[in-house]
Amino acid sequence: MKKEEWLETCRLIGEEATREIMHYYKKKEGTEEIGRGYGGDMTMLVDKVAEDIIIKRLKETNENIKLVTEEAGIVNIGKGKPDYYVFADPLDGSFNFKMGIGYFGTTLAVLDAKKNVDIVGYTKNFVSKSEYYAMLGKGAYKNGDRIYTSQKEAPEDILLECSYKANFDSIKKITDVFHTARHSRMPGAIAIDYCKVASGSFDAVIYAGSSRYLDVVAGNFIVKEAGGVITDFAGNEKIYKGNKLAAKDLLVCGNEKIRDYILGKKK
Q: Which amino acid is at 203?
A: D
pTM metric for this prediction: 0.94
pLDDT of 70:
85
Q: What average pLDDT does the chain have?
A: 93
Domains annotated for the chain, with CATH where assigned, are: 3-129 (3.30.540.10), 157-263 (3.40.190.80)
pLDDT surpassing 50 at residue 267: no
The region of weakest confidence among 5-9, 10-14, 102-106, 232-236 is: 232-236
* Strand arrangement, sheet containing 250-253: 183-185, 157-162, 204-208, 250-253, 229-232
Q: Is residue 181 classed as helix, strand or coil in its secondary structure?
A: coil
pLDDT surpassing 90 at residue 148: yes
pLDDT surpassing 90 at residue 138: yes
pLDDT of 27:
93
pLDDT of 266:
53
In terms of pLDDT, which residue wins out, 238 or 210?
238
Q: Quick one: how far is CA 92 from the chain centroid?
A: 8
pLDDT surpassing 50 at residue 254: yes
Query: For the segment 173-231, what is each residue's pLDDT rounded down to a tens digit?
Result: 888 888 778 899 999 999 999 999 999 999 999 999 878 899 999 999 999 999 999 99
- Residues 230-241, mean pLDDT to the nearest whole number: 92
pLDDT of 85:
97
Query: For the segment 40-99, what is each residue's pLDDT rounded down to a tens digit?
Result: 677 899 999 999 999 999 999 999 999 999 888 999 999 889 999 999 999 999 999 999
**CA torsion 82→230→137→135, rounded to 10°?**
50
Q: Report percent pLDDT > 90 for the chain.
A: 76
CB-based burial, 144-153: b 16+ in 10 Å, e otherwise: eeebbbbebe
